[in-house]
Amino acid sequence: MLSSLDPSSQQFLDNLNRISDAMSTAQQQMSTGLKISSVSDAPDQISTLLQARAGLSSTQQILSNLGRQKTEVDAGEQSLESAVQLFEQAQTLGAEGDTSTLSADQRTTLSQQVGTIMQQMVGLAGTTVEGRFIFSGDSDQQAPYTIDLTQANPVSAYQGSTATRVAQHPNGTTFPISLTAQQIFDSSDPTTNVFTSLNNLRTALANNDDTAIQTAVDALPKVDTYLNDQLAFYGNAQNQVAEATDYGQTLQTEIQTQISNLQDADLTDAILQLTQAQTQQQAALTARAQLPRTTLFNFIG
């Protein structure tokens, strides 16, 4: 459509519209605190902003997961610390029982104490966090073991499954955070099996068998070393979770800063822009009003 305005008037209106747009933009930034409220505000930056927001959301979810995983790993580490202490108590009982001066009744009492330690070990194997058996692998609604000291083999077969749980690091990698009770207490190698070694000691003491007691006591140090190795796994997992959390918190701050730089308005600059636009608008209107108005009648004598 052809404009009926002369070029000078059209230019005046165009400039006035630009000033009005600048005022509107400044007012919007002041009211929302944002310089990007819609795609049209900065089409060349919106993709970067959306990627940053997605990265922030992902990092926050990973940090939330790490918080829960820390609780699980801490519980695992505490349970294994208790298991190591219990096993050391069993070693002390074994050393006490491995003397020829003890009576059969005294050894029976020691045997019962070792049985109590076995029950406590099974209890530790059934450690729960948030309603989950953390040593039952992926079958975390099932206690890994039951125990009946009246049986020749008092500890049941493992009732859990393999453990595939891993923690995600904010840098995209993953690392394992759990072992199964089978790996910890019920090793396939009888020379490192916690339950087997304790039961052998318990049985030998109950039978007042000097040779069997000696054999059971001699086997304990290797099992103790193995159990401490499992404890070390959880100590390492704690360190990895802590490092990943620190990394994630730093990354979160960096992304939040990036988002802020992209979308947050500079209120001081917005106020200045609004003031300048208002001044320009007033000056333009005043100048326009002062222009001489010539009509056809000015040329009629």
Reading the chain (301 residues) residue by residue, the pLDDT tens digits are 445 555 655 565 555 566 555 555 545 554 455 555 554 555 666 788 889 889 999 999 999 999 999 999 999 999 999 999 999 999 999 999 999 899 999 999 999 999 999 999 999 999 999 999 999 999 999 999 999 999 999 999 999 999 999 999 999 999 999 999 999 999 999 999 999 999 999 999 999 999 999 999 999 999 999 999 999 999 999 999 999 999 999 999 999 988 887 765 544 554 555 566 556 556 655 665 666 665 545 545 5
Q: Is residue 237 part of a domain?
A: yes
Q: Is residue 155 part of a domain?
A: yes
In the block, residue with structure tokens 């052998």: 200
Q: Is residue 82 part of a domain?
A: yes
What CATH number should be reported for the domain holding residue 113? 1.20.1330.10
Q: Is residue 182 part of a domain?
A: yes
In the block, residue with structure tokens 């006591």: 217
Q: Is residue 162 part of a domain?
A: yes
Q: Is residue 187 part of a domain?
A: yes
